[in-house]
Structure 1
Amino acid sequence: MLRLIFFIAFIIALDVYAYQAFRFLVKGRWGTILYFLITLFIIGGMIYQFSTGGRRNMSPLTQFFIVSFVILIVCKLVIIATMFGEDIFRLIKGGLNKLTGNTQGSAIPSRRKFVSQIALGLAAIPFASILYGVIKGRYNFKVLKYTLSFDDLPEAFDGYKITQISDVHSGSFDNAEKLDYAIDLINEQASDAILFTGDMVNNEAAEMEPWKDTFARLKARDGKFSVLGNHDYGDYIDWPTPEAKIANLDRLKEIQKEMEFKLLLNEHHYIEKDGQRLAIVGVENWGEGGFKKAGDLNKAISGLAQDDFKILMSHDPSHWEYEVKDHPEHFHLTLSGHTHGMQFGIEIPGWFKWSPVKWRYKYWAGIYEDAKQYINVNRGFGYLAFPGRVGIWPEITVIELKKSGKNA
């Protein structure tokens, strides 16, 4: 409760400061009251929704308050940053007036109207971007293609294509037409295998029921494989009984089977071709920073030959950082997700990539390499909490495996 009070006080303090930019627009006492009532309405709505189960069902009303809150915070932080810069200037100028004995200048010069106008103009940029992210961005699916070469790739798998998707979060979907388009887009890649790297739902298996026939349409010659992500265990809501939680996970496993996904629970599966093979290794969720550590890598590779070509599916990229890349066994390619790229950032393909999530995860989006071992961190297929994506679009990854030295 104390943290909630401090949080509300902090937001109101920001709002009071940002109000200085609106003063020339807000006329009279009622305009001022309306300005602050909007903030209180959004904060109150957020608190009410999350205290009455909004986090569990992510209703349209809950999503409305989340979007409104994000707009409130981001836009007003832009305003505050601009106004703070001018306040530093005002303090310096006021100090110089006092030191030089300039009696014509005021102790602290008044805030200039045009700076407030600039602040509001700059705030319009994230405002428009967030609205685009909610209306269009969350279904702005992108196919990202990579070619990775390996010295010890079995000859029979030269040119082998894998499609990876991750973080479906089916409880957030609200547009069947857009989802059908994405499924068709995946099938158009005509990959040899489809690998799903966790977080099928937000919390409950029932979220996937309306969409299971849609995902059952996914086709790949050598099959579809999946692992569990941290949200799939139902750890983030209160269940009436422990048995209900267990039953929920059991149902999610059944749904994946009904969709013809082979769920790998700390185990592996061989794909064979022309007398050669590669191993698909799947671990349960393993994550640093308070996340579930159900993954057992040694159990998953038990029985594998040391020289087997290994593709590891592990939901959280921190697993690669802390356990996989320095493991005695060599994992040629690891596929992860989890970060969503924070659903917010700036990307110029081949030139620049940034998101605040980089301060939390060293490996957060795209391909990384260490000692001839690769990881791809998928930006996610769906979305969670904030019903949009700004600059970090939903991703379908296609990876082609090549034998080093072979002609393309």
Structure 2
Amino acid sequence: MNTQFMLLLILLDPDTYSLIGWVVLMMLSAFAGVMLYMKPRSKTRWSAAALLLTMWAAFIYGFYVGNDELRVVEVEYASADLPAAFDGYRIVQFGDTHLEAFEGKGRDLLERVVDSIKAQHADMIVFVGDLQNRHPDEVKPFIDLLGSVKAPDGVYSVLGNHDYPDYLGTDDPFEISGLTGRSVENHQLLGWHLLCNSHHLVHRGNDSIVIAGMDNDGDGRFPANGDISQALSHIRRNQFVVMLEHDPSSWRRKILPHCHAQLTLSGHTHGGQLNLFGWSPASLRYHEYGGMYYMGDRALCVTQGVGAAIPFRLGVPSEIVVITLKKK
């Protein structure tokens, strides 16, 4: 096992970030203490101390309070293409569990997520990727809990960038194939319909809508395995399509220009996990990173997710999204 891979494993461990945060704050505190001792009447030093206290408060809140918050977001999407039989149809969207972060005492939040999903009595539930953080075995302790999530028209899911073995540092094609197969099998064990560049039709009488899913289609360092042509094979342009795609950057790159999917559901960004006075660091990389976005009559809904590799959230609580489809 090489040094680079060992470093990657350490950086992907959720506890690493808590430790780093504590070390940095302790060092800053020691520095501020020395400065206050040497120049106790300096206004600059007292300003630095006030800033340090603010950082302490933000750190403690983000790691131990904000990271445990959960909200239910309700949105509507109206389309003239929606069949009349689906007017009022309810979809629960969630994603980015990164299950390694829910081991131990973190399980309580995931139990609340599951209870909140069940309480919506939705027609369909969708999971938009990143079930695991780095290894398929993380899912085993949560099979019964997440497997209890059910809906009349089923639970549909797609793979996110963390659901591939890229984070395990192996180049062995047989090992890569085996790990990917186990990730796919986990969705089957949960009773979810994993959509790997494929689709499924949901019927209401003589009417139907399409629930389609692309493999992760990232930009740059993330896997780009999405295939729209395959996902929507034999689907007519007048059919209403809900597209699941983990990475929201694919909406502008591929989905808008290359297919007619009216509503796309994504995750991946976690909303930046930090929001200060309306600004999120996710805005530096993504045009769409949290909430509903429109391009004409077509829309993208990006959920902030329920977990994260870094157990810190400030102003960006974990969430599930309840989408109600309306006939326009």
TM-score (norm 2): 0.90
Offset, 1:63: 4.0
Match of 1:37 in 2: none
Q: Amino acid of the residue matched to residue 355 of structure 1? A: S
Match of 1:136 in 2: 65
Match of 2:288 in 1: 363
Aligned residues: 317
Q: Secondary structure at the match of 1:312?
A: strand
**Which has the larger displacement, 232-241 or 219-228?**
232-241
Contact 2:113 2:306 in 1 (8 A): no
* Candidates 42, 51, 67, aligned match of 2:7: 51
Q: Amino acid of the residue matched to residue 141 of structure 1? A: L
Q: Structure 1 residues 49 and 204 mapped into 2: Cα distance closer, same or farther (>3 Å)?
A: closer
Match of 2:311 in 1: 387
Match of 2:50 in 1: 121
Q: Structure 1: 5+ residue runs without aligned partners? A: 1-46, 84-109, 348-352
TM-score (norm 1): 0.73
Q: Structure 1 residues 53 and 383 mapped into 2: Cα distance closer, same or farther (>3 Å)?
A: closer
CA distance in 2, matches of 1:69, 1:344: 20
Q: Secondary structure at the match of 1:195?
A: strand
Q: Amino acid of the residue matched to residue 280 of structure 1? A: I
Q: Structure 1 residues 269 and 54 mapped into 2: Cα distance closer, same or farther (>3 Å)?
A: same
CA distance in 2, matches of 1:215, 1:277: 27
**Which has the larger displacement, 177-186 or 161-170?**
177-186
Q: Structure 1 residues 121 and 325 mapped into 2: Cα distance closer, same or farther (>3 Å)?
A: same
Contact 1:270 1:279 in 2 (8 A): yes
Contact 1:141 1:395 in 2 (8 A): yes
Deviation string 1:200-228 (CA, Å, 9 cap, x unpaired) is 11111001111111100112110000000
Match of 2:275 in 1: 345
Match of 1:157 in 2: 86
Q: Amino acid of the residue matched to residue 153 of structure 2? A: D
Match of 1:231 in 2: 162
Match of 1:291 in 2: 222
Higher relative contact order (CA 8 A, sep 6+): 2
Match of 2:187 in 1: 256
CA distance in 1, matches of 2:176, 2:247: 22
Contact 1:67 1:387 in 2 (8 A): no
Say whether residues 1:65 and 2:19 are aligned partners. yes
Offset, 1:144: 0.6
Match of 1:397 in 2: 321
CA distance in 2, matches of 1:370, 1:198: 23
Match of 1:322 in 2: 253
Q: Structure 1 residues 265 and 52 mapped into 2: Cα distance closer, same or farther (>3 Å)?
A: closer
Offset, 1:71: 4.6
Identical aligned residues as a percent: 34
CA distance in 1, matches of 2:40, 2:241: 63
* Candidates 233, 237, 240, aligned match of 1:302: 233
* Candidates 243, 268, 271, aligned match of 2:199: 268
RMSD: 2.5
Offset, 1:49: 11
Deviation string 1:363-387 (CA, Å, 9 cap, x unpaired) is 1111000021100111111011x21
Q: Structure 1 residues 69 and 50 mapped into 2: Cα distance closer, same or farther (>3 Å)?
A: farther
* Candidates 257, 261, 266, aligned match of 1:331: 261
Deviation string 1:19-53 (CA, Å, 9 cap, x unpaired) is xxxxxxxxxxxxxxxxxxxxxxxxxxxx9996384
